[in-house]
Copies of this chain bind each other. A is one copy, B any other.
Amino acid sequence: MQEEHISSVFDRDLEAVQAQIMKMGGLVEEAIRLAAKSLETRDGELARDVRERDRSIDELEHQINQRAARILALRAPTAVDLRLILTVIKISGNLERIGDYAKNMAKRTGVLSQLAPVGDSGASIRRMTRLVEAMLKDALDAYVQRDAALAADVIARDEDVDQIYNALFRELLTFMMEDPRNITACMHLHFIAKNTERMGDHVTSIAEQVTYLVTGNHPDEPRPKADTTSSATEV
């Protein structure tokens, strides 16, 4: 009886910390969406809002880490319960970084509003952020549903993000060479594109944690790194 009691308290602890992860995930999804929107609509008010909200995300990470440490100390979980706590720690770290990138994206709204738009690079960035947002949604669904197949799908989709980034990198080089007045805007757009590509990497890490949680193994092969801009000497 006593044991059952302890075990149900333990289950509640695990549920509570997972609920916090989902809440944090929801806030981060929203942050990506609003940061992209603030850029697109040149909405400085919204950009400030995204920056404000990042504090709640950071605060949640802190709470999740504290709760995870408490569960480890008091409950000494093993096997799948231990894996759950370990993934909670890693995933909250990834979510915090993604939130940070969204905040940094929003920060560029002010400066880009003052500069002439550059081609349709806004559209490519929008496409990238939507892809990453959808990947994050699926990675979190995979986490809740312990769905290793969906997690594998998310990991595979990161290549699409990398490809859009590579194309955009070359596009931005072209715009800068065509007209030096585009240089400042392009540097900021490159910054945003690279940040978005990094968000994709962190979403991929979350999906990898789901694989670990479900199977007990990390995905075997290092995933292909598809940022090929390191060799771009010309456009």
Interface size counted on chain A using CB atoms at 8 A: 46
Who on chain B is nearest to A94 by CB? B93
Rounded to whole angstroms, the CA-CA distance of A107 and B232 in the bound complex is: 11
In the complex, chain A residues 57-95 whose Cβ is within 8 Å of any chain B Cβ: 58, 62, 65, 69, 72-73, 76-79, 82-83, 86, 89-90, 93
Q: Is A20 an interface residue (CB 8 A)?
A: no
Is A56 an interface residue when CB atoms closer than 8 A count as contact? no
> Is A8 among interface residues, defined by CB-CB distance under 8 A?
no
Q: Which of B183, B184, B194, B234 contacts A191 (CB 8 A)?
A: B194
Q: Which residue of chain B has its CB nearest to the CB of A198? A: B198
Q: Return the contact of A173 from the options B187, B222, B233, B235 (Cβ within 8 A).
A: B187
- Is A18 in the interface zone, CB < 8 Å from B? no
How many copies, total? 2
Nearest CB of chain B from residue A127's CB, rounded to whole Å: 21
Given contacts A114-B233, A190-B190, A233-B111, contact A82 B93 (CB under 8 A): no
Chain A interface main SS type = helix
Residues in B neighbouring A222, C-beta threshold 8 A: 58
Cα distance A172–B173 when bound, in Å? 14
In angstroms, Cα B96 to Cα A90, docked, is 13
| A interface residues, Cβ below 8 angstroms from B | 58, 62, 65, 69, 72-73, 76-79, 82-83, 86, 89-90, 93, 104, 107-108, 110-111, 114-115, 169, 172-173, 176-177, 180, 183-184, 187-188, 190-191, 194, 218, 222, 227, 229-235
Which residues does chain B contribute within 8 Å of A194, judged by CB atoms?
191, 194
User: Does B89 lie within 8 Å of A86, measured CB to CB?
Assistant: yes
With both beta carbons as reference points, the residue of chain B lying nearest to A230 in the complex is identified as B107
**In the complex, are the beta carbons of A73 and B69 less than 8 A apart?**
no
In angstroms, how far is the closest chain B Cβ from the Cβ of A44?
12
Min CB distance A230 to B, Å, is 4
Complex Cα gap A235–B188 (Å): 13
With A72-B77, A86-B89 given, name 13 new contacts (CB 8 A). A65-B86, A72-B72, A73-B78, A89-B89, A90-B93, A104-B227, A111-B231, A115-B233, A169-B187, A176-B187, A177-B183, A184-B235, A191-B194
